[in-house]
């Protein structure tokens, strides 16, 4: 386990100021204030239950699957079921990792937590796409129609305007 030490941001900032690094001290104070302002986020109520089966409930499910007709355990069937279960655990970890943007890789994560993380990731991706679209729109060339030396909105003119690359035609 790595050796970790909890540091007080105010003490770090004070030390940096004494060493003359005012900008770094200011950044540490700002980041500390932002972190302290964060509020814990509640998971939204979901229709999914996080109930965990008891051992007996689980056994009731598996008993007929892994038992022989005489009630003894079918070792070969147990091996097959454990192999399938191991594969499901591996697949779940891969899917959770992808669906949450790397925030969750534990296959036994409660469904409500995984779903909340997936929702957050989808929201982040949507926000990013919207921002990129807005930036692309803001960087697009703007064409202004001048009539008699004055800029005019296209909707204010009886003309139709066609743009062909760098050429403009008024019809």
- Side-chain-side CA neighbours of 60 within 13 Å: the count stands at 5
Report the C-alpha gap between 117 and 99 in whole angstroms: 8
The CA-based dihedral angle spanning residues 58, 63, 66, 71, taken in that order and rounded to the nearest 10 degrees = 150
Average per-residue pLDDT in the chain?
77
Among residues 66, 67, 69, 60, the alpha carbon closest in space to that of 84 is found at: 66
Binned at pLDDT 50, 70 and 90, residue 25 comes out as confident
Supply the pLDDT for residue 44. Answer: 52
**Greater pLDDT, 144 or 32:** 32
Look at residue 144 and tell me whether its pLDDT is greater than 70. Answer: no
What's the 3-state SS for 2-41?
CCCCCCCHHHHHHHHHHCCCHHHHHHHHHHHHHHHHCCCC
Supply the pLDDT for residue 4. Answer: 47
**Greater pLDDT, 105 or 157:** 105
Domain ranges of the chain: 7-42, 141-171
């Amino acid at each position: 386990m790595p050796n970790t030490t909890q540091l007080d941001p105010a003490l770090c900032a004070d030390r940096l100021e004494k060493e003359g690094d005012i900008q770094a001290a200011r950044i540490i104070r700002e980041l500390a204030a932002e972190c302290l302002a964060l509020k814990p986020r509640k998971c939204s109520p979901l229709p999914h239950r996080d109930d965990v089966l008891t051992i007996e409930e689980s056994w009731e499910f598996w008993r007929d699957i892994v038992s022989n007709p005489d009630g003894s355990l079918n070792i070969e069937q147990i091996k097959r079921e454990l192999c399938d279960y191991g594969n499901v655990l591996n697949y779940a970890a891969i899917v959770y990792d992808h669906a949450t943007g790397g925030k969750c890789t534990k296959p036994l994560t409660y469904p409500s937590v995984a779903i909340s993380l997936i929702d957050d990731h989808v929201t982040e991706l949507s926000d990013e796409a919207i921002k990129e679209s807005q930036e692309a729109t803001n960087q697009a060339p703007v064409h202004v129609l001048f009539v008699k030396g004055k800029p005019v909105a296209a909707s204010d003119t009886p003309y139709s305007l066609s743009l062909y690359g760098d050429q403009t035609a008024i019809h």
